[in-house]
Amino acid sequence: MRRMSLSRRTLLRGTGTAIALPLLDAMIPAMTASAATAAAPEKLKRLGYIYVPMGYSPQQWTPQGDTLDQLPSSLQPLEAVKDQLTVITNTDLKNAYPGSHATSNSTFLSAARAKRTESSDYRSGTTVDQIAARHIGQNSQLPSLELSMDLLSTVGQCDNGYACVYQNSLSWASPTQPLPSEAHPRLVFESLFGEGGTPEQMAQARRKRSSLLDLVTQEIQRIKKRVGASDRNKIDGYLDSIREVERRIQLAESNASDNPLPDLDRPVGVPASYAEHAKLMFDLQRLAFQGDITRVVSFQLAREASTRTYPEIGVPDPHHPISHHGHDPKKLEKLAKINQYHVSLFADFLKSLADTPEGNGTLLDHTLYMYGSGMGDSDAHDHTDLPILVAGGAAGGMKGGRHLAFNETTPLSNVHLTLLNQVGVPLETFADSTGTIDHLFDPVTLN
């Protein structure tokens, strides 16, 4: 059997763009399919974080017992992937007190106390995604990717004496270096697949081309001649996904340019529908992982103190006022609907990862995601009993289908430390951690 060997870092190059390929059999130095399977990656190599604001409604979220046999209503969208899901309850963020929207966001990935200031002398802590990026992201095109859904980054004071940066930035490269997040799908797409130049130059380049993939057609054909049928199918599927995401972005741009009404919060190219916008941002994460363009992602699915409404699910009221429910059953029911809606978007993303083959498993098997909020009871701005989900990780032996309810309140930093260790970051402590959650994983790999 004869097969050409390709580097894992093989790129399809065209004018102004370079597209990374997914993992192919030809990238594994072996001469048989069985050897390729044995040599395929078995370790966890990607880590993602999804943040949702303003807590949750526990009654519709918390599973009964220690299994996920019966998912509560807010988690029911995850039914198809619950075997790769662990629900964790009774964790806290002590350093988020005295309790605010600002500290919910800033402490979620740092577990550090934010300096109370309304000026530019802000200070928090290096976040876990950036610690991971330094260890597992340095050999990828982008060490990390910071994403959000809200395009408006406010300045000044946002919450109870705290600078707005604490709510704007989920990721911090250092205690004094918050990282901006990107919510515009076109700009994320171009950061992944290339465009280059000033905004004016990029706009001109977009007008000259019909599709990004048209720029690398010859290179695609050359690569496909060097690989087997299975690899050709993988390449075609990956490029079809890129083309579809680009088509959706172009459609959003066209719809926005045809709209005569000004939209200061939604630049051209951002879908008007929240769900379509979120799905695009999730698809971009999948493509980035599939092409090994980045291995670390943080994504703010909604912003703290957001007044976004969700009429599409029967909740026309702003999210923030609903979160101050005063234990009103009607408001709690609306909050649970919002919780379920956000979870449904995450569930669709996890299904797409599970449907994407990689090595001897799937993209989801080799990826870990943590989803959650920095608030528990949003009415009290409380940072105890947080809603936390961990998904994926089968290649690292993560036990899915479970509800881990700690008997005693446990620092969320213990979860962070455990996930860092599982992707190969050799830390013994993180922030206020008291240890790792050893029973979250088994020392096994995929068969």
- 185-216: buried (b, 16+ CB within 10 Å) or exposed (e) per residue? bbbbbbbbbbbeeeeeebeebbeeeeebbebb
Every domain of the chain and the residues it spans: 41-104+129-154+296-440
Q: Identify the band that residue 28 occupies on the pLDDT scale cut at 50, 70 and 90.
A: low
What pLDDT, on a 0 to 100 scale, did the predictor assign at position 38?
39
* pLDDT (mean) for 204-226: 68
- For residue 24, pLDDT over 70 is answered with yes
What pLDDT, on a 0 to 100 scale, did the predictor assign at position 261?
40
Q: Check residues 434 and 220 and name the one with the higher pLDDT.
A: 434
Of the listed ranges 3-12, 214-223, 261-270, the one predicted with least confidence: 261-270
Mean pLDDT across the chain: 85
What pLDDT, on a 0 to 100 scale, did the predictor assign at position 177?
94
What pLDDT, on a 0 to 100 scale, did the predictor assign at position 313?
97
- For residue 32, pLDDT over 50 is answered with no
- For residue 14, pLDDT over 90 is answered with no
* pLDDT (mean) for 109-136: 96
The model's pLDDT over 381-393, given as tens digits with 9 standing for 90+, comes to: 999 999 999 999 9
Cα–Cα distance between 4 and 226 in angstroms, integer?
6
Contact between 422 and 393 (Cβ < 8 Å): yes
Cα–Cα distance between 80 and 441 in angstroms, integer?
21
* pLDDT (mean) for 301-312: 94
The model's pLDDT over 393-402, given as tens digits with 9 standing for 90+, comes to: 999 899 899 9
What pLDDT, on a 0 to 100 scale, did the predictor assign at position 227?
81
Quote the percentage of the chain above a pLDDT of 90. 61
Q: Identify the band that residue 34 occupies on the pLDDT scale cut at 50, 70 and 90.
A: very low
Cα–Cα distance between 198 and 179 in angstroms, integer?
21
Of the listed ranges 34-38, 98-102, 400-404, the one predicted with least confidence: 34-38
Q: Identify the band that residue 6 occupies on the pLDDT scale cut at 50, 70 and 90.
A: low
* pLDDT (mean) for 256-279: 67
What pLDDT, on a 0 to 100 scale, did the predictor assign at position 41?
43
Q: Identify the band that residue 272 occupies on the pLDDT scale cut at 50, 70 and 90.
A: confident
Cα–Cα distance between 88 and 395 in angstroms, integer?
20
Fill in the amino acid letter for 12.
L
Q: Does domain 41-104+129-154+296-440 have CATH number 3.40.720?
A: yes
Q: What are phi and psi of 20, to 5 degrees?
A: -75, 150
Cα–Cα distance between 167 and 354 in angstroms, integer?
32
- For residue 209, pLDDT over 60 is answered with no
Of the listed ranges 1-5, 339-343, 371-375, the one predicted with least confidence: 1-5
Of the listed ranges 19-23, 143-147, 153-157, the one predicted with least confidence: 153-157
DSSP code per residue over 107-154? HHTT--PPP--SSS-------HHHHHHHHHSTTSSSS-EEEES-----
* pLDDT (mean) for 222-246: 78
* pLDDT (mean) for 245-249: 76
Q: Check residues 442 and 420 and name the one with the higher pLDDT.
A: 420
- For residue 145, pLDDT over 80 is answered with yes
